[in-house]
Structure 1
Amino acid sequence: MHDVSLQVGRGEVVGLLGPNGAGKTTVIKMLLGLVRPDGGEALLLGRPAAEPAARAGVGYLPELFRYQPWLTPAEVLALHVRLAGAAVSDAERRECLATVGLAGRGDDRVGGFSKGMQQRLGLAVALVARPEFVVLDEPTSALDPLGRADVRDIVLDLRSRGVAVLLNSHLIGEVERVCDRVVVLDRGRVAAAGTLAELLGQRELRLHLTGLTAEAEARLARTGGVHREGDWLTVAVPADDETVAPALVRDLVGLGVSVHAVEPVRISLEDRLLGILREGAADRAAQP
């Protein structure tokens, strides 16, 4: 890792993105004291991450885990509550299982669970001790679309309750739906970081126009870069200014242009991520 710096505030969801081997899981392990960094400092809830007391308020779902097949979910939760030193009633544990979609399965053997059900149990373990900071490493792996939607709802509920969430996921669409900020790692370095609006930088408008005049074309050009295919034009507009599109349409109509359709097009996080990684690869290739 090289000068990696990130922060997760209370009531905030921060996503970690990057290719395999970028260092995402390593960052999480250093944060949780599972790997010791050569330098730098990690703080958990205002305390040095090396202190066990700091980790007491953290819930963690690792990417790879396995529970003893002869245990039941109720026994797994009871074990982890005891390890955490938390006071969590049986009713709260049952409620936690219900939250992750395992209601009524608390007395079944884990050995008979599908991979998706085990993933749900792992999420329950991360949440059962009422953590202030939750670290989720690939929480939706092995889950079907309904399961991914459940995880998304859980993450949003955690944020609404002021819990800090660090989310590592290869499913960019999930990150885009729930994260307030994103940190892109590439080869152990922070390649980009910011809110989605800051990372995406711009969006586009597709307009079906006829009757374009030179004056109207100049007005389009002042808005942003223009790409034309027949009567359809794509114009780049700032992502954080909602007044640009209505003002542009109003001016075009005032200039006598017939506006048949206006379609907002947002640059996807996946496209932006690929661009960041390709830029990094190009920079490395250009170095002597």
Structure 2
Amino acid sequence: MDNESVIQVSNLTKIYRDFWGRKKVRALNSLSLEVKKGEIFGLLGPNGSGKTTTLKLLLGLLFPSEGEINVLGQPATNVEKNERIGYLPEESYLYRFLNAEETLDFYGRLFKMSAKERRERSAELIEKVGLGHAKRRQLKEYSKGMTRRIGLAQALINNPDLVMLDEPTSGLDPLGTDDMKRMILELKEQGKTVLMCSHLLADVQDVCDRIAILYGGELKVMGRVDDLLKEQEETQILTSRLSEEAIKEIEQVVAKHNGKVDSVDHPTATLESLFLKTVQESKARPGQRFVPESEEKKAAE
């Protein structure tokens, strides 16, 4: 990962005012953070914590009350920098009567891409996001998950250096979520920088290098995901299956060193990994189904 900064935010404050200019809401309070080139950075926090406000400030859609913002080496207010940015908002504002090909062609024209570039890039992205089967259907017929996919394709049409994603897995089923996370990791492999906001913490944990947690418009935690999640006061040892005798010997060794074995159990997978494994196995062996124990007993009798 490069040490070059793609986003630099220093003492950023945003205050929303009412019609009379009186302070109404302090959305951000002295926020400072930095996003490095080539990393996936997660911006987390409950509703109203300032995540979407931060994205809009970075894009130059809002102006800060105080502080400085630099994006891709330029002030956030310089709209020219947005030509190198791809943005997927939480709600995609797309033209419902266009199909996927027409949608990407339209946005390609906004970036002054040639007809050949638009055609090739659109075809590549439609396949990449898994909409090849529905590329000529109007967007009004798309499910929310399909809309998120074409929204991502639209955000990537200009081959951006920085990609901002607001709730990228919203409305996706587990298979779609897995595809989205894979595509986000592929963006990193291509050398792109990704800034994403999400309420789905498991998704953030799977793809992000570093995270920042906001609350009440203030930065509360920031660092590498692995470091933040590691329990420094506990030690975990993972082995192949052991006999009862071996477990007792290990407990005696731990006690000898003033430690205590709190629990002995088999490791568990996540529900998401179980779901994906089940679907993959079902595709490989169609027709196989789950048989309750009661039916198995009846068949044996």
- For Structure 1 versus Structure 2, the TM-score category normalised by the shorter chain is 0.7 to 0.9
Matched, 1:103 2:132: yes
Query: What's the CA shift for 1:15?
Result: 0.7
> Offset of 1:52 from its aligned partner?
1.4
In the alignment of these two chains, the number of paired residues is: 231
- Contact 2:212–2:223 (Cα < 8 Å) also in 1: yes
**What is residue 228 of structure 1 aligned with on the other side?**
262
Q: Relative to structure 1, is the Cα distance of residues 217 and 133 closer, same or farther in structure 2, using a 3 angstrom cutoff?
A: same
Q: Is the 8 A contact 1:94 1:106 kept in 2?
A: no
Q: Does 1:59 align with 2:90?
A: no
Q: Compute the TM-score of the two structures, normalised by the length of structure 1.
A: 0.73
Q: What SS class does the counterpart of residue 205 from structure 1 fall into?
A: coil
Q: Confirm whether residue 217 of structure 1 aligns to residue 232 of structure 2.
A: no
What's the TM-score, normalizing by structure 2?
0.70
Does 1:205 pair with 2:232?
Answer: no
Distance 1:93 1:220, change over 3 A: farther
Q: Unpaired segments of 5 or more residues in structure 1?
A: 233-260, 266-288
Residue 79 of structure 2 corresponds to residue 44 of structure 1: no
**Does the Cα contact within 8 Å between 2:88 and 2:151 map onto a contact in 1?**
yes
RMSD between aligned residues: 2.4
* Partner Cα distance (1:213, 1:59) in 2: 54
1:115 to 144, 152, 156: 144
Q: Structure 2 residue aligned with 1:16, among 21, 43, 46? A: 43
**1:124 counterpart residue number:** 153
Residue identity opposite 1:84 in structure 2 = F
SS at match of 1:14: strand
Code of the aligned partner of 1:123: L
Q: Is the 8 A contact 1:206 1:263 kept in 2?
A: no
Q: Deviations over 1:1-59 (max 9, x none)?
A: 11212222221100111111111111111111112111111111111111111111000
How far apart, CA to CA, are the structure 1 residues paired with 2:65 and 2:182? 37
Aligned AA (2:54)? V
Of 206-215 and 17-26, deviating more is 206-215
| Residues 205 and 225, structure 2, Cα contact 8 Å, conserved in 1 | yes
1:152–1:174 Cα contact (<8 Å) kept: yes
- Which letter does structure 1 place at the counterpart of 2:257? R
Aligned equivalent of 2:108: 81
